[in-house]
Amino acid sequence: MRTGQLLLLLGAALFLALQVVVFNGYHNEVGLTTQQVAKDTQLEQQLALVLQENTKLKGLYTKLEEQLSEAEQQVKKAAEEVAREQQVHGRDGSNRQKFPLYISQDGGHEGVHDMALTYAPLIRYLNHIEDAEPVKRGKKENVAYYRIANHYKFFMKTFFDCFEYPKLIILEDDMELAIDFFSYFGATAGLLDQDPSLYCVSSWNDHGQDRFVRNTLQLYRSDFFPGLGWMLTRDTWRGFREDWPDSYWDDWIRLNKTRQGRQCIRPEVCRTYNFGEKGSSKGFFYKRFLAPIRLNDVDVDWAHTDLSYLQPDRYAREFEATYAAAPLVASPEVAMSAKGDVRLFYDSQEHYEAITAVFGMLREWKDGVPRAAYKGVVTVFIEQARIFIGPSPSFKPPKLIDLSDKPVLVDQTGALLRGRKVGPLDDLGAA
């Protein structure tokens, strides 16, 4: 820490300013010669410079204090969340064998390190220290996105290639778990083993805001990778580890060329809640789309729940029958006032964004796939209606944008910022 050094600099600047003010006052009492006026002017200029530097130093010191306080709060929140996760984990005595817990820390923050070790031996600890600072492709890019990608690569290599675990559930440190979190993943793990068309199982629904969900038992197949509490297999990791990106890993993992037609299982009602308003993405979607998420509070016995409807052929057959039977409506307003199932067509990505703007939904697409979509169809509940938002027969697929190196810029609802197709991360946001 450099706080002491800053305190010394501030003290020196204040003392020099005080000296100049006293000396300047002396000149005002005795009368001034031309030479003294010149000297006085020079001293006034020095005073202005000193005061300016003093203000800068004060601002820097205040900023460091705020950052230190924020870091301490983050460590405290992380410790509280680990304690809550232990409570959920400890509800079933067999979880310790089925789901051994690890904390993987990126960087050398002592507070995080000390907090993690307080949970030993119940929770094991890993620490990723980078060899050198990542090299960014763009000057305006946030280096955090490079560090996150490197950290993910580190712990997946560790767990899959070194420890040889068959599956891994990945959680970030700002997530609260539902009461049935481990039961949910225990029951769905078998689906990953049996179904090669699956990419992952996720605990997250991007449209899981309280106003859009109803059934805590309902699970879906989706072409969109949700993340935010997700499970993958060792085989999936080994299939893409050689191509792992150096930044924006979540954009890359959503690419069609990475996903290769595979789908994810997701719940209607989320099994995780993200409380991290401040982070690498600067809380871009937080207040509007993350804070209103409903976290499941029903203790579902997933081990005795029939999940056979999620088998790919059966799911496709039953979904298509339900979708075809839903009456077609002409506008979002009509859909919202309906009772029961209705269909609403979109003709383009821009048209989809216009429809979902009326509903107040997160409107984002990645590589031609809307968030939470199955075969282009997004399902939400509004009042007494279940609304299927799907592509029309005349749908025009969007021109795909290369997400490999840079994120796509979107507004605060996830709609694409047209005219600025690709660019470095800035205050407009990227996901």
In angstroms, the CA 184 to CA 201 distance is: 10
Sign of the torsion formed by the C-alpha atoms of 176, 219, 280 and 283: negative
Per residue, the 3-state secondary structure of the chain, as one string, reads CCHHHHHHHHHHHHHHHHHHHHHHHHHHHHCCCHHHHHHHHHHHHHHHHHHHHHHHHHHHHHHHHHHHHHHHHHHHHHHHHHHHHHHHHCCCCCHHHHCCEEEEEECCCHHHHHHHHCCCCCEEEEEECCCCCCCCCCCCCCCHHHHHHHHHHHHHHHHHHHCCCCEEEECCCCEEECCCHHHHHHHHHHHHHHCCCEEEEECCCCCCEHHHCCCCCCEEEECCCCCCCEEEEHHHHHHHHHHCCCCCHHHHHCCHHHHCCCEEEEECCECEEECCCCCCCCCCCHHHHHCCECECCCCCCHHHCCCHHHCHHHHHHHHHHHHHHCCEECCHHHHHCCCEEEEEEECCHHHHHHHHHHHCCCCCEECCEECCCECCEEEEEECCEEEEEEECCCCCCCCCCCCCCCCECECCCCCECCCCCECCCCCCCCC
- 235 catalytic per annotation: no
Catalytic residue among 106, 223, 250, 367: 250
Tell me: cis bond preceding 121? Omega within 30 of 0 counts: yes
288 and 186 in contact (C-beta within 8 Å)? no
Give the residue numbers marked as catalytic.
250
